[in-house]
Amino acid sequence: MRIRPTLSWEPSGDLPAPTTDVTAVIDAVRAGGVVVLSGAGLSTESGIPDYRGEHGSLQRHTPMTYQEFVGSEWARRRYWARSQLGWRAMTRAHPNAGHRAVTALTRAGLVTGVITQNVDGLQQVTGAQHVIELHGSLSRVVCLDCGHEETRAALDGRLREANPGFEHVAERHRAARVNPDGDVELPEDAVREFRVVPCVACGTGLLKPDVVFFGENVPPERVARCQDLVNTADTLLVLGSSLTVMSGLRFVRQAADAGIPVLIVNQGPTRGDRWATARIELPLGATLSQVVQRVAQS
């Protein structure tokens, strides 16, 4: 039986009312020293759904948990079969205006670092520097036994070779919507014959995408790097995250405790609103492009 992880929260108490005025964001960016914390909402305009928005993937999809992945051979087979289709869809996605705006601000020296909760790598494709992948990246695979790392592209080739008939079986599902974790729904008959390959280094190890699954902890040294970055910020700018899970929310609370202003741009309330200086409810691509334009004019 699949156990659904805790993935939602219900707003309680009086939360600050959202605004459509971006002045606070423009002023903060113009002053510099901004650290960005980005979530799945930043990639929705690239065709990758978020988890909890109006059309979020959680309405139709329960993400894989770490406990399920390591505890079930069938779960690993299902994951890799579905990921084989979903990962290719992810590689076809392109950065959007929001990603490009964040990179433009980092190049201008106004954004000093980016903590991304996304595993799609789209922010880095734009050439952004100083990006910490809080939840890892789908572009890498790690052996749970020996620790060997492999690129997802290399694994793709090995999985293709081990499953020559999979393309035909999966063809009718090629247009299925990809989820934020690179998963695509496939029926059991498309999964049953899928062969999972072992680690190339040790020959027997279990392979896992180098991402933090639900139910798994972010590596402590990565958390420490993010905390150090937040400590240096003049403003923490949250982009496209509901902050439902503690892995991202902790940095909002850290900033607020340190007296660092927290600005949130997100469509819908977030779990961090009570600590926010302001929450702006606007589409990210157009809003961030406007911020870049206004700052450049000053």
Superfamily for domain range 18-48+95-135+217-298 = TPP-binding domain (3.40.50.1220)
Give the pLDDT score at 269. Answer: 93
- CB atoms inside a 10 Å sphere around CB 273: 22
Q: 40-88 pLDDT, tens per residue?
A: 999 999 988 765 445 444 444 577 899 999 999 999 999 999 888 888 7
Q: 138-177 pLDDT, tens per residue?
A: 999 999 999 999 999 999 999 999 998 887 766 666 555 6
Q: Where are the beta strands (DSSP E) in 146-288?
A: 149-151, 207-211, 235-239, 262-265, 278-280
Residues of the chain with pLDDT under 70: 1-13, 50-61, 169-183
The CA R_g of the chain, rounded to the nearest whole Å, is 20
130 is catalytic: no
Q: What is the C-alpha to C-alpha distance for residues 84 and 186, in angstroms, rounded to an integer? A: 11
| pTM, 2 dp | 0.89
Give the pLDDT score at 27. Answer: 98
Give the pLDDT score at 1. Answer: 35
Q: What is the C-alpha to C-alpha distance for residues 59 and 31, in angstroms, rounded to an integer? A: 40
* Residue percentage of the chain with pLDDT more than 90: 71
- The answer to whether the beta carbons of residues 256 and 262 sit under 8 Å apart is yes
Q: Which of 94, 135, 168, 173 is catalytic?
A: 135
Give the pLDDT score at 3. Answer: 39
Sequence ranges of the domains in the chain: 18-48+95-135+217-298, 59-92+140-211
